[in-house]
């Protein structure tokens, strides 16, 4: 095999594949490699898999001789990134690969092509369009709430469900819950819901950085695989084969003790208080009265801090504490200048919503006050 490629096009084609190749290399060394195939019509296919996510990217090159090469993905990407020339030539002879550009020349080892895992992608006609920006918003607004506890695999991903052209994503780890909801166009449908694993969600978000208004989606119900397609890339993600818990039951329905707070002022105050703490388990105490919330943070070594914010509050005087990191993450997801909270007591979860939109809600459990 011998091909000459535009450096920029080569890097774009390698980017997602080399990210995937960083996955399970410690378990199967072959998985740290990508496989590049050159055909006579100038088409280059670049494939990678970690056995959970598989990806193939397609781009053009000048093909002098057809063939296949299996090479370490991260090393190849780093080398090409740092080459000074605008064009790169890749040539395979026997079990070695030569990479040249201007006066640079590298000789790299390759693995046996037949040892690389064999995986297939769906026909183009299998995919239906879905707005890329909506899918990105749905995933970005809920991924922070995915559980990291491996003993709870059913909570280790984002639950995606569609009904009557409304797409909804939900994630929870038992301490916090996030729900995003957007209308969409097209025929993609998973009314029973699917669970996309955390890593798969991150892989999708990398894929959606491409400048494409629409992404093709396909759900293989039998194999439990979500297929995605853009103009140059296809991706298969192995879904979590489990049942998502009845999340509706943990979303508070109470309407009392409603608090409306300015978002930017609150985030600024929270950031200043968080400077007292180094750990991720630090808490902030809220003392809520009719027109004011007092925010307190105390560290036995560094001292204490207090912030006061004027609010619109209807309800009983209350004191409640939350994990600073979780609280900040949730409020940062909210669009608009204000957000509202519904509270019951110091031990019950808080319902957090935007004031100006209805496409996102979060539930946050309080932490114990000593």
CATH assignment of the domain containing 216: 3.10.150.10
pLDDT at 71: 95
The pLDDT of 146-168, averaged and rounded, is 94
The dihedral through the CA atoms of 66, 72, 74, 76 has a sign that is negative
Confidence tier at 279 by pLDDT (50, 70, 90)? low
Same-domain check for residues 158 and 49: no
The domain boundary residue, chosen from 249, 274, 290: 249
Q: Measure the CA angle with vertex 54, ends 49 and 60; round to 5°.
A: 95
Same-domain check for residues 171 and 95: no
**What's the DSSP call for residue 27?**
T
The total of structural domains in the chain comes to 3
Same-domain check for residues 329 and 225: no
**What's the DSSP call for residue 367?**
B
Q: Which residues pair with 131 in a beta bridge?
A: 214
How far is it, in rounded angstroms, from Cα 351 to Cα 159?
19
Same-domain check for residues 217 and 287: no
How far is it, in rounded angstroms, from Cα 193 to Cα 333?
23
The domain boundary residue, chosen from 249, 283, 298: 249
Same-domain check for residues 134 and 215: yes
182 occurs within a structural domain: yes
Instruction: Report the run of H or E that residue 19 belongs to, with start and end.
Output: helix 7-20
List the single range of 196-205, 220-229, 273-282 with lowest mean pLDDT.
273-282
CA-to-CA separations, 184 to 132, 162, 214, 363, in angstroms, rounded: 10, 9, 11, 25
Residues 85-114: tens digit of each pLDDT: 999 999 999 889 999 999 999 999 999 999
- Identify the CA nearest to 15 among candidates 235, 237, 249, 168: 235
pLDDT at 26: 66
How far is it, in rounded angstroms, from Cα 242 to Cα 194?
9
Same-domain check for residues 103 and 128: no
238 occurs within a structural domain: yes
Residues 168-191: tens digit of each pLDDT: 999 999 999 999 999 999 899 999
Residues 114-138: tens digit of each pLDDT: 999 999 999 999 999 999 999 999 9
How far is it, in rounded angstroms, from Cα 131 to Cα 143?
19
- What are the DSSP E strand ranges found in 24-61? 33-38, 43-49, 53-60
210 occurs within a structural domain: yes
CA-to-CA separations, 213 to 12, 18, 168, 254, in angstroms, rounded: 18, 24, 19, 39
34 occurs within a structural domain: yes
CB-side neighbour CA atoms (13 Å) of 97: 25
Same-domain check for residues 91 and 155: no
Same-domain check for residues 236 and 304: no
> Is the distance from CB of 76 to CB of 18 less than 8 angstroms?
yes
237 occurs within a structural domain: yes
* Structural domain harbouring 322: 252-364
Angle between helical axes of 7-20 and 73-82 (0-180°, round to 10): 150
Residues in the chain, total? 370
369 occurs within a structural domain: no
The domain boundary residue, chosen from 249, 270, 288: 249
Same-domain check for residues 144 and 108: no
CA-to-CA separations, 85 to 9, 81, 96, 270, in angstroms, rounded: 13, 10, 22, 48
pLDDT at 22: 83
Same-domain check for residues 244 and 136: yes
Same-domain check for residues 23 and 94: yes
Residues 52-84: tens digit of each pLDDT: 999 999 999 999 999 999 999 999 999 999 999
Same-domain check for residues 358 and 319: yes
370 occurs within a structural domain: no
Confidence tier at 24 by pLDDT (50, 70, 90)? low
260 occurs within a structural domain: yes
> Is the distance from CB of 111 to CB of 97 less than 8 angstroms?
no
Question: Exposed, middle or buried: residue 210 (CB in 10 Å: 0-12, 13-18, 19+)?
Answer: middle
């Amino acid at each position: 095999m011998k091909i000459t490629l535009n450096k920029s096009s080569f890097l774009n084609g390698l980017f997602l594949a080399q990210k995937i190749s960083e996955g399970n290399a410690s378990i199967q060394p072959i998985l740290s490699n990508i496989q590049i195939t050159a055909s006579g019509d100038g088409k280059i296919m670049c494939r990678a898999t970690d056995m959970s996510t598989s990806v193939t990217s397609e781009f053009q090159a000048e093909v002098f001789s057809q063939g296949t090469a299996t090479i370490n993905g991260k090393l190849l990407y780093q080398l090409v990134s740092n080459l000074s020339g605008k064009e790169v030539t890749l040539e395979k002879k026997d079990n070695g690969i030569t990479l040249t550009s201007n006066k640079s020349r590298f000789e790299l080892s390759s693995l046996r092509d037949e040892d690389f895992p064999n995986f297939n992608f769906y026909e183009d006609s299998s995919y239906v369009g879905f707005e890329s920006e909506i899918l990105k918003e749905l995933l970005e607004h809920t991924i922070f709430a995915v559980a990291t506890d491996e003993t709870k695999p059913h909570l280790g991903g984002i639950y995606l469900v569609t009904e009557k052209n409304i797409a909804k994503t939900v994630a929870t780890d038992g301490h916090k819950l996030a729900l995003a909801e957007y209308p969409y166009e097209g025929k993609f449908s998973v009314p029973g819901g699917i669970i996309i694993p955390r890593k798969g969600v991150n892989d999708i978000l990398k894929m959606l950085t491409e400048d494409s208004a629409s992404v093709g989606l396909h759900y293989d119900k039998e194999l439990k695989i979500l297929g995605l397609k853009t103009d140059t890339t296809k991706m298969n993600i192995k879904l979590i084969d489990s049942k998502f818990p009845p999340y509706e039951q943990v979303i508070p329905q109470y309407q009392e003790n409603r608090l409306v707070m300015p978002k930017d002022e609150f985030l600024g105050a929270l950031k200043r208080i968080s400077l007292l703490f180094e750990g991720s388990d630090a808490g902030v105490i809220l003392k809520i009265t009719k027109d004011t919330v007092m925010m307190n943070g105390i560290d036995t070594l560094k001292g204490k801090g207090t912030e006061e914010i004027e609010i619109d509050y209807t309800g009983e005087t209350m004191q409640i504490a939350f994990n600073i990191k979780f609280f900040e993450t949730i409020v940062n997801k909210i669009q608009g200048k204000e957000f509202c909270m519904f509270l019951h007591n110091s031990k019950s979860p808080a319902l957090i919503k935007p004031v100006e939109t209805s496409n996102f809600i979060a539930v946050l459990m309080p932490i114990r006050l000593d």
